[in-house]
Amino acid sequence: MTPKDRKKLLIDKDLTMTELAKRINRDRSWVVQTMHGHVMPRPTQEAIAKELGLTVEIIFPHDKVPKRAA
């Protein structure tokens, strides 16, 4: 899923980033950064996925995670 797809998912669920952050007990700015793919905190991804009723792999596909330089 792209950040745009994740935003559409929130709209479909009638949720704002602020409401999502409150539901998962995280700071709004942290949720926004995670949803846009700027940070990849696994616990936050898992909390978001659980709240939205999907798996982490669907919402935050592993192939989109930045790879470390060798």
What is the average pLDDT across 45-59?
A: 94
Helices (H), the chain: 3-12, 17-23, 28-35, 42-52, 56-59
Q: What is the pLDDT of residues 13-46, one digit of tens each?
A: 999 999 999 999 999 999 999 999 888 899 999 9
Matching residue, tokens 């994740």: 6
* pLDDT for 37: 87
